[in-house]
Chain A
């Protein structure tokens, strides 16, 4: 399975600011995914990011709030913009496994917005 790292691992941010989360994979992957995990709720897909194309966002998530970059096959960033306390969550990067029906997850970024 791929080894995935995320930076930062956690952060405390002020309302109205933005945070960029980095995801690095140790091998080239086509599909990268960004999820949100809020307490007591299911992991929710924010968007799918393919290298060389714009990210595809799920219902309820918009590019202005969660801009994503995918500059190459091993790296992606998710920015949480103009944050509010409701954005406090764990943000997880995921990549498609060698078997397409599986996905592997990074360790997550724990975000607290005050």
Chain B
């Protein structure tokens, strides 16, 4: 079983819709959770990061973590064509410099104008 599971999609939604992207993880030691956005032929770009359970909002983006169910979500409101990208969830156990990130496989999202 992979430590982080993510539906690879592809996911296509009309412009203006609310997008929900999700990951599940198996290791209860994970404490830090990130979402990266990766445009085609580019490196991953850090979008959101959260610590432990709860919600974090940044503009049109909301990251949600439910540690009881080991579930990570990213919501995009008022989706735009520029949001079309692959979204990667990532987790990390601790706040140590050599702690590695564990990634999901990424969900390819297309926003249809």
* Cα distance, A30 to B8, chains bound together (Å): 33
Contact A105 B45 (CB under 8 A): yes
With known contacts A40-B8, A43-B44, A105-B44, A100–B88 Cβ distance under 8 A: no
Say which residue of B2, B49, B102, B106 sits within 8 Å of A102 (CB atoms): B49
Indicate if the CB atoms of B46 and A1 lie closer than 8 Å.
yes
Question: From residue A80, how far is it (CB to closest CB) to chain B in Å?
Answer: 18
The residue that A107 contacts in the complex, of B36, B43, B104, B106, with Cβ under 8 A, is B43
Which residues in B have their C-beta under 8 angstroms from that of A110?
Answer: 41
Contact check, B4 vs A92: say whether CB atoms are below 8 A apart. Answer: no
Q: Specify which of B2, B95, B101 is in contact with A103 (CB 8 Å cutoff).
A: B101
Q: Which chain B residues border A96 with CB–CB below 8 Å?
A: 97
Across the interface, which residues of B come within 8 angstroms of A33, CB to CB?
Answer: 100
The answer to whether B92 and A101 touch across the interface, beta carbons within 8 angstroms, is yes
Beta-carbon contact of A105 and B4 below 8 Å: no
Across-interface contacts of B97 in A (CB, < 8 A)? 30-31, 96, 100
Which of A45, A100, A108 contacts B95 (CB under 8 A)?
A100
Find out whether the CB atom of B98 lies under 8 angstroms from the CB atom of A40.
no
Q: Render A72-112 as a binary contact track against B, CB cut-off 8 A, 1 for contact.
A: 00000000000000000000100011011111111110100
Given contact pairs A42-B4, A42-B103, A100 touches B96 in the complex (Cβ within 8 A) = yes
Chain A residues within CB distance 8 Å of chain B: 1, 4, 30-31, 33, 40-45, 48, 56, 58, 92, 96-97, 99-108, 110
Looking across the interface, which residue of chain B has its beta carbon closest to that of A33?
Answer: B100
Whole-angstrom CA separation of A41 from B5 in the bound complex:
11
Minimum CB distance partner of B36 in chain A:
A105
The reply on B60 being an interface residue by CB < 8 A is no
A58 with B8: in contact, given A42-B2, A43-B44, A101-B32 (CB under 8 Å)? Answer: no
* B80 part of interface (Cβ distance < 8 Å): no
B17-52 vs A, CB cutoff 8 Å, 1 = contact: the mask equals 000000000000000101010000111111001010
Cβ-closest chain A residue relative to B100? A45
Contacts of A105 on B, CB cut-off 8 Å?
A: 36, 43-45
B105 on interface, CB distance cutoff 8 Å? yes
